Amino acid sequence: MWKVFGENPEVVLEPENRSKSPAEIQSEFGQIAALRDVSFNVNHGETFVIMGLSGSGKSTLVRCLIRLVEATSGQIFVDQEDVTLFDEGKLREFRRSKVSMVFQHFGLLPHRNVIDNACYGLEIKGVEKDERYNVAQQMIDMVGLKGWEDSRVSELSGGMQQRVGLARALAMEPEILLMDEPFSGLDPLIRRQMRHELAELQRQIHKTLVFITHDLDEAITVGDRIAIMRDGEIIQLGTPEEIILNPLDEFVSEFTEDVSKERVLNLGSVCVEPDLILTLPGGIDQLKAAMDGSGVEYAVCVDETESVLGVTCRSLIETAERDEDIEQLLTKPLSQETNIQAAIPKLADSEIPIPIVGPDSKLIGIITQKSILRALSS
């Protein structure tokens, strides 16, 4: 996709001019190249974050997706349909039924109360009053505004007003939700709270979400993948972990240098192989014998299907009673998707390694205090 502002945008798309910088394009042709050959895909149910500094083109991009701004060149496919080919009627229906947008400025109606703002889109759509109020109430409850239905929006804080805007967007039951820097006008504390609430809400609703921000911390909190923009181009696209660990250039490195690795790295990327894996034997005596024969301090115990039960250590086994339940001696596993920050308190309270498992409960590896420290210092 390209978006060029000016009286002669086509000149920028000529082959000899496509590789020129925005400064060169403006100097030579008097045109503003807001988007330059941008391509990406968003998966169903994914939170896809587009981030960049002011003027990078991110807000122009999200507006092009629903043709609030018309692209100069390119195609936009949603469910195999090219949005750029929609006539006025089909575009209107697309905006009403498939996609909703939440802006930085809430756009609420000050003369209406919370529930009337939340159901406004349904009213425009022609939904009967009882039905639209029922749907709006469900969305108000979901975003944490239960009890505020009859309040005027002027009585609400900025964070609460943004929740009303989110409830209004969700009430339309869109497949796709576009959010253009929705929290940037809020105080830092409220903003941090809202991004965590959005991440938790997304785990419940599983919408396809395109989220615009200039804040990497925000991008990491809510995003499954992040596209970093500069001068109208996407210069790096990947998971938060990929971008933090492998920044493509100095610009991305500067973006990521203050991010704490423990918030980004997941346990699957920092675990190590265990020295011993045991199919859990019948009793303590058998387990002692297996540990003695191995000559190692720790062992991962699995069941007959190779699903992980936990990790035990020699010192626990040596002091265990013969009739003691073996599973009481095991450190329980954590998911490979858990980040280091969440695992540190658990590891600090135990000298026993923690087993890391995939979605099928099969072993990925173990983490130890040493492996965590090594990963954070590298």
* Span 333-343, pLDDT tens digits: 999 988 888 88
* Average confidence score pLDDT of the chain: 87
Considering the domain architecture, whether residues 128 and 191 belong to the same structural domain is answered as yes
Considering the domain architecture, whether residues 331 and 184 belong to the same structural domain is answered as no
Out of 221, 238, 259, pick the residue that ends a domain.
259
Question: Is the predicted pLDDT of residue 87 greater than 80, yes or no?
Answer: yes
pLDDT at 220: 87
Question: Is the predicted pLDDT of residue 372 greater than 70, yes or no?
Answer: yes
Q: Considering the entire predicted model, what is its pTM?
A: 0.78
Residue 202 near residue 47 (C-beta atoms within 8 A): yes
Strands 81-82, 77-78: pairing is antiparallel
Residue range 206-218: mean pLDDT, rounded? 90
Considering the domain architecture, whether residues 299 and 354 belong to the same structural domain is answered as yes
Residue 154: CB atoms within 10 Å = 9
Terminus-to-terminus CA distance in the chain, angstroms?
A: 38
pLDDT at 378: 65
Strands 47-52, 225-230: pairing is parallel
Considering the domain architecture, whether residues 127 and 240 belong to the same structural domain is answered as yes
Considering the domain architecture, whether residues 172 and 219 belong to the same structural domain is answered as yes
Domain coverage including residue 353: 268-377
Give domain status of residue 33, yes or no.
Answer: no
Considering the domain architecture, whether residues 103 and 61 belong to the same structural domain is answered as yes
Considering the domain architecture, whether residues 254 and 351 belong to the same structural domain is answered as no
Question: Is the predicted pLDDT of residue 224 greater than 80, yes or no?
Answer: yes
Considering the domain architecture, whether residues 367 and 250 belong to the same structural domain is answered as no
Considering the domain architecture, whether residues 54 and 96 belong to the same structural domain is answered as yes
Give domain status of residue 156, yes or no.
Answer: yes
Give domain status of residue 286, yes or no.
Answer: yes
Q: Output the domain CATH number for residue 301.
A: 3.10.580.10
Nearest alpha carbon to residue 172 among 98, 94, 63, 104: 98
Number of domains in the chain: 2
Question: Is the predicted pLDDT of residue 106 greater than 70, yes or no?
Answer: no
Q: In degrees rounded to 5, what are phi and psi of residue 355?
A: -75, 145
Residue range 31-56: mean pLDDT, rounded? 94
Q: Output the domain CATH number for residue 76.
A: 3.40.50.300
Out of 229, 259, 289, pick the residue that ends a domain.
259
Maximum mean pLDDT: which of 58-72, 115-129, 156-170, 284-298: 58-72
